[in-house]
């Protein structure tokens, strides 16, 4: 018996900057996990992943990540995805630099 479908978000890395990005319901990329489209249907998730994967001029490495409903939008479930929301860990730049200001 297969496991029940867990809600997902589509995530990738921005081609030019390398930042972690998430696909919104409006077909744009955002750097904020809580703005991502929370997909609760497996077939729809596969269609959104195909759509994201075809945008090769914008992103690389698109995949589906488990998520859950949160107070302000989707929240990551797994440690790896929560870690990715905070940006690079080697030194302060990108999201970490902006948060320090």
Per-residue pLDDT of the chain (101 residues; tens, 9 = 90+): 778 999 999 999 999 988 999 999 999 999 999 999 999 999 999 999 999 999 999 999 999 999 999 999 999 999 889 888 887 665 565 566 666 66
pTM attached to this predicted model: 0.84
DSSP the chain: -PPPPPPEEEEEEETTT--EEEE-TTS-EES-GGGSPPB--HHHHHHHHHHHHT-TTTEEEEEEEEEEEETTEEEE-SHHHHHHHT--SSSS-THHHHHH-
């Amino acid at each position: 018996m297969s496991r029940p479908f867990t809600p997902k978000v589509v995530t990738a890395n921005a081609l030019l900057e390398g930042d972690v990005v998430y696909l919104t319901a409006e077909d744009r990329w955002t750097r904020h996990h809580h703005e991502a489209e929370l997909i609760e249907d497996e077939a729809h998730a596969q269609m959104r992943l195909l759509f994201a994967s075809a945008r090769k001029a914008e992103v690389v490495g698109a995949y589906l990540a488990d998520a859950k409903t949160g107070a302000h939008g989707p929240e990551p479930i797994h440690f790896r995805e929560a870690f990715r929301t905070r940006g690079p860990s080697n030194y302060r730049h990108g999201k970490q630099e902006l948060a320090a200001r």
